[in-house]
Structure 1
């Protein structure tokens, strides 16, 4: 096996190899390996061959890996350059041969050289990416609302603050959505950039053969002065009882709100549509206001809750200085990084006015692996909890509480997108 493993080449794909790379990608994700010309044309239009890796057994692609540039919003609203990783597969016949290790090492080294502050991914399987220094940094929750129990006025038709709800089409969304999302992204830790293709695909302007399209309804919230402050996309089924009673479900496909008023109005709109007795929220922040916007919060039950965005810190100094801090204090911490990309000992001094993070030779107060730093960086997890689990080591008693006072945030980070 060792000699055969050494014969496997890991390298960027060439343009003629893209169809074979797509076949390997589909095989790895248990989709049909048949690749129509439309899928080849679509993927070729946006993948960068220099950042699209494949492992090749002779001429056959047996593992896939792709990265692309991204901006990630740090705590406080400052964007940092990120190496976004996606399309990671290894064909079943070639597992356990170190192919992912080689692809990941090659990509992260290039990201470090480019000056990316972090790398990001959405993990299909939980146990894979910790060994590469990634830690789960945000989570996401899905609710299901029993409209009949929610306690909202079924005769509601418009916001009480003088705003309004308007139905629009995909073309309107492509005009209004990007700027609205940018306003959200500037204030939401964990949010990432959306390019023009994202809006084209998610409004049906670009149709993918691998993802059947159902045209959704789009509703926008406008404040009293006409400013667009919210947008929701949703689809409805067609369900009736034997007694000819409607039991339709509205399923949210996308939801942006830049103010609590817009958030309240759009959820109320969804819960007041005739025939709709159930609303599925789609992926939301774990501390979303949704349940508490209902007179009876028990009408919203959690159906799914899971880790979402994973973060791998590549530049400790820039990552810690990019974010804001609600508390004030100092902490000396040591980062252990087996890949040699971000390890070292650092002194963090932080306050509401800003932060400095500098390499130091002082004795550490806290020691943690780079994956735990990724988990803590956006403020969602507790160093005290990680210390109790043995994943963070206190070199000075109470250091984990100091870390929590500096790093944790009043609202939880959230990434609205999958990639």
Structure 2
């Protein structure tokens, strides 16, 4: 089968079950597609841009993108082309199928006016060649609760707030507004639509074969004035050791907090639950407060630390003008883009009061790839370090240090969501 015999095209309603089968095959899930799975996923087909590669009638590669918002440094949101469900069946690797799907989707996103493209990479080496760079990191801790040194007599927040266990309906009532306030202050966060809340609270059961829904616990933190400022979702197991000793692990499905007081109270509550001896935190920001909220921070052991949100800059001017900057300065940045989507030379004039960016013919101070610019954009990467690694070209002495003074942030960016 020649490469040009495999068609890459939008997926029709009739082809959707076969597309899901290819998706399940690519992610090594049970390939069978029960009708209920097709029906539950159908709204995604209607609201997304789904591509498939077809060898005859059989789908052998999958690709989905959809509209998204990403929070920039400073709280502004920019539009993004979120990419997900990328697979290539093992029998059809090395035939350029992903490249063809990317070459269909990314120019269309640029034409629509999306500022960025985003994805969560299952494997690291794949997406750099398409201009993406890892812009946030996720860290997961395992907390040894008995070792943490917490007061076992704790009975509630010391600040006068309160914690209430609530059901899924309460989460759907309070969660969307709480998260909207949270994500406006969290660089790297993405928006959540109503379907997200329906799925994560079990109102809409979208599960694959062998993955039944189990109801988690939800806890809300209310400030002393009664305002909802934090939400924790967790799922405990049921494990007992020798001599009838409880050894339960609580796995955090999500924790968002608007204030350090709310964050402290929710973690302290989780650590205080009887029988819980271990906490798996889920994927958190790499500078999360948790370890140092414990009297013994060594009780929190890092078990995962890896790249998370990947970004590709599609519109340099709008991306650089959307975010805020800690200091004042000017840089001429040349972004190289082999795909020809968004490369060029741009002058950035930034200050705490705002920024302007425009194409420039002046000599470049820094030369960066689109992936490196993505890493710098959210403030997590260091231009000095990237230059030392040979990934950024410093054309003017000291320009990398100027870039760090402008781009770096006092807290690290974080994307709480998988998509």
Q: So what's the TM-score if we normalise by structure 2?
A: 0.98
Is 2:309 the partner of 1:306?
A: no
- In structure 1, runs of 5+ residues without a counterpart are none
After superposition, give the CA deviation of every residue in 1:175-212 in whole Å (9 maximum; x if it has no partner).
11000000111000000011111111111111223132
- The answer for the alignment partner of 1:121 in structure 2 is 119
Q: Tell me, what secondary structure is at the counterpart of 2:176? A: helix
Is 2:323 the partner of 1:329?
A: no
Aligned residues of 1:48 and 1:68 also touching (Cα < 8 A): no
Aligned residues of 1:291 and 1:297 also touching (Cα < 8 A): yes
Cα distance between partner residues in 2 of 1:357 and 1:140: 30
Cα distance between partner residues in 1 of 2:189 and 2:206: 25
- The answer for the alignment partner of 2:82 in structure 1 is 84
Cα distance between partner residues in 1 of 2:353 and 2:381: 23
- The answer for the alignment partner of 1:284 in structure 2 is 284
Is 2:75 the partner of 1:42?
A: no
- The answer for the alignment partner of 2:136 in structure 1 is 138
Q: 1:236 to 1:49 in 2, by over 3 A?
A: closer
- The answer for the alignment partner of 1:381 in structure 2 is 381
Cα distance between partner residues in 1 of 2:293 and 2:48: 47
Shift of 1:57: 1.0
Cα distance between partner residues in 1 of 2:254 and 2:18: 33
- In structure 2, runs of 5+ residues without a counterpart are none
Cα distance between partner residues in 2 of 1:106 and 1:48: 19
Shift of 1:123: 0.1
Shift of 1:50: 6.7
2:29 aligned to which of 31, 51, 54 = 31
Cα distance between partner residues in 2 of 1:333 and 1:136: 19
After superposition, give the CA deviation of every residue in 1:76-96 in whole Å (9 maximum; x if it has no partner).
000000000000011111111
- The answer for the alignment partner of 1:149 in structure 2 is 147
Q: Tell me, what secondary structure is at the counterpart of 1:16? A: coil
Cα distance between partner residues in 2 of 1:118 and 1:338: 17
Shift of 1:47: 2.1
Q: Tell me, what secondary structure is at the counterpart of 1:401? A: helix
Q: Tell me, what secondary structure is at the counterpart of 1:310? A: strand
Shift of 1:216: 0.7
After superposition, give the CA deviation of every residue in 1:221-270 in whole Å (9 maximum; x if it has no partner).
00011000001011111121221111211111111111100000000000
Is 2:348 the partner of 1:348?
A: yes
- The answer for the alignment partner of 2:50 in structure 1 is 52
- The answer for the alignment partner of 1:97 in structure 2 is 95
Aligned-CA RMSD value: 1.0
After superposition, give the CA deviation of every residue in 1:124-180 in whole Å (9 maximum; x if it has no partner).
000000000000000000011111111111111111111001000011101110000
2:8 aligned to which of 10, 19, 29 = 10
Q: Tell me, what secondary structure is at the counterpart of 2:45? A: coil
After superposition, give the CA deviation of every residue in 1:49-86 in whole Å (9 maximum; x if it has no partner).
77100111111111100000000000000000000000
Aligned residues of 1:13 and 1:50 also touching (Cα < 8 A): no
Aligned residues of 2:48 and 2:64 also touching (Cα < 8 A): no
Cα distance between partner residues in 1 of 2:182 and 2:344: 34
Aligned residues of 1:78 and 1:186 also touching (Cα < 8 A): yes
- The answer for the alignment partner of 2:225 in structure 1 is 225
After superposition, give the CA deviation of every residue in 1:110-131 in whole Å (9 maximum; x if it has no partner).
1000000000000000000000
Q: 1:245 to 1:310 in 2, by over 3 A?
A: same
- The answer for the alignment partner of 1:263 in structure 2 is 263
- The answer for the alignment partner of 2:295 in structure 1 is 295
Aligned residues of 1:15 and 1:49 also touching (Cα < 8 A): no
Cα distance between partner residues in 1 of 2:215 and 2:316: 44
Aligned residues of 2:47 and 2:66 also touching (Cα < 8 A): no
Cα distance between partner residues in 2 of 1:137 and 1:50: 24
Q: So what's the TM-score if we normalise by structure 1?
A: 0.98
State the number of aligned residues: 417
Shift of 1:337: 0.2
